[in-house]
Amino acid sequence: MLVQVGDLPLINREGGRQRGDDYLNGIAERLTQALHSFPDHMLSRHSGADFAIFVPAIAEIESQELMEFVYSRLHETDRSGDEMQSVYVGALFIPKLRDSDNFMALADVALSHAQNEQKTGCYWHKVDKSERSLSAREWSELIQRGIEEKSVSFHFQPVWRLIHGEKRLLFNEAMVRMNVDGTEYPAGHFMPMATRFNMLPAIDCLVLKQLVNNQNELPEYLCINLSIASIEDVNFLAILEQFLDNSSLAPRVTFELPASALSFAKKSVRRFVTMVKSKGAGFSLHHFGKGSSEFDYLQTLSLDYLKIDRCFVQNIEHDNDARFFICSLVGIARSCDVTVLAEGVETETQWQMLIDLGVQGGQGYWLGEPMSNAIEG
């Protein structure tokens, strides 16, 4: 099981190293308490505020329940702490260990699925007997080959906006896939390893080039997710400048960054926003609401859209705090002329409640699944 809790760098910067250490100790204490019924467990700090857990001799149903319990225990810390942190848990159930397998690679994939999970921030996966996990080296070679062969494609998920009470297509969000040796890999499968091996800027460069090469086949308006690593990469920024200067795509594209970028790369974000906005492109933040400092930038960033993190959407029916947060955010964002969208809309009830709270649009499986052919407005 891999556990990721966010914004440690921000806590270190704003509260000092001691507060960061106290924060990590608090996470470790919560995890230890959650694992109390499994005395043979092994718990270690993986990196930053990421932790790895191994629990031997556990039943399948117990492994699912344990994952959910760990997630809920950390969310208690989340809600009571000074900062609203992101929490993700990726878990594997392995019926029989095999020395030849690299299960950390599969655990990385499970964590990535948790980060992109539409309903919760956790993801459970049972390793099939026939399933072979690629080693880190094999993943590195596969991704590098995909980059060299320029073998990326896109699926598109519609993002909607309400205009006079009617749902209208705002843009399609492009979701990257990589095709290598006849196998198509969704981003959730290869991005964890691409992150580990610092390949995200190269992938994002390839995405921009593919957009230019295929611009006649693209939807009229689209949203492109970029990584924090890319906007801090000199080579990517040069490719981006060429893209903005030499293509007619800029006015059709909204570039999107995770809201956590405001904590990790504030200066880089400001430079990036200035660059893309000066060329007529849009700018959006997604996974918004997990860090309290994000609100400080609503008035100072030239922001077109923000997407409320799905954790607030999934709890909207039963969580008064989630509804209060959304209502407050909508009021602040409107005063800054920022359009508020919702991520992970899964039911009609959620959609209607979001509308009633003033949210102006959104995306999610109930509103439209990612497809190879984009929906046109």
Residue whose C-alpha is closest to residue 5's, from 73, 97, 104, 56:
73
Question: Is residue 82 pLDDT above 60, yes or no?
Answer: no
Whether 276 is covered by a domain: the verdict is: yes
Residues 117 and 165 in one domain: no
Whether 369 is covered by a domain: the verdict is: no
Q: Does residue 281 contact residue 253 with C-beta atoms inside 8 Å?
A: yes
Q: Would you state the structure tokens that stand for residue 325, as one six-digit string?
A: 């947060």
Residues 12 and 151 in one domain: no
Task: Please compute the mean of the pLDDT values over residues 113-118 and round it to a whole number.
Answer: 68
Give the pLDDT confidence score for residue 196 in this predicted structure. 79
Residues 316 and 347 in one domain: yes
Instruction: Choose one of 126, 160, 189: the last residue of a domain.
Output: 126
> What is the pTM (predicted TM-score) of this model?
0.78
Q: How many domains does the chain have?
A: 2
Whether 176 is covered by a domain: the verdict is: yes
Residues 67 and 206 in one domain: no
Residues 234 and 289 in one domain: yes
Whether 377 is covered by a domain: the verdict is: no
- Of 249-258, 294-303, 342-351, the range with the lowest mean pLDDT is 294-303
Whether 103 is covered by a domain: the verdict is: yes
Q: d(Cα 7, Cα 24) in Å, to the nearest integer?
A: 11
Residue whose C-alpha is closest to residue 58's, from 32, 73, 38, 72:
38
Give the pLDDT confidence score for residue 99 in this predicted structure. 52
Question: Is residue 221 pLDDT above 70, yes or no?
Answer: yes
Amino acid occupying residue 156: F
Residues 122 and 147 in one domain: no
Residues 284 and 355 in one domain: yes
**Torsional sign, CA 236, 237, 239, 243:** positive
Other CB atoms within a 10 A radius of the CB of residue 372 amount to: 10
Instruction: Choose one of 70, 92, 126: the last residue of a domain.
Output: 126
- Report how far apart the first and last C-alpha atoms of the chain are (Å, whole number): 42
Q: d(Cα 16, Cα 5) in Å, to the nearest integer?
A: 18
Q: Would you place residue 117 in the very low, low, confident or very high pLDDT band (cuts 50, 70, 90)?
A: low
Give the pLDDT confidence score for residue 293 in this predicted structure. 65
Q: What CATH number should be reported for the domain holding residue 12?
A: 3.30.70.270
Q: Does residue 130 contact residue 332 with C-beta atoms inside 8 Å?
A: no
Give the pLDDT confidence score for residue 115 in this predicted structure. 74
pLDDT digits (tens, 9 = 90+) for 171-206: 999 999 999 989 999 888 888 788 878 999 999 999
Whether 137 is covered by a domain: the verdict is: no
Residues 182 and 300 in one domain: yes
Q: d(Cα 220, Cα 252) in Å, to the nearest integer?
A: 6
Whether 370 is covered by a domain: the verdict is: no
Task: Please compute the mean of the pLDDT values over residues 98-124 and round it to a whole number.
Answer: 71
Instruction: Choose one of 92, 126, 160: the last residue of a domain.
Output: 126
pLDDT averaged over the chain? 87
Give the pLDDT confidence score for residue 305 in this predicted structure. 97
Residue 39 in 3-state DSSP?
coil
Residue 107 in 3-state DSSP?
helix
Residues 204 and 304 in one domain: yes
Whether 138 is covered by a domain: the verdict is: no
Residues 193 and 91 in one domain: no
Q: What CATH number should be reported for the domain holding residue 232?
A: 3.20.20.450
pLDDT digits (tens, 9 = 90+) for 300-325: 889 999 999 888 898 899 889 999 99
Show the domain range for 117. Answer: 2-126
pLDDT digits (tens, 9 = 90+) for 93-108: 887 765 545 677 778 8
Residues 28 and 55 in one domain: yes
Residues 50 and 13 in one domain: yes
Residue 131 in 3-state DSSP?
coil
Question: What DSSP letter does each residue of 330-374 carry, written as one string?
Answer: HHHHHHTT-EEEES---SHHHHHHHHHTT--EE-STTT---BSS-
- The single residue listed with the structure tokens 């924090």 is 228
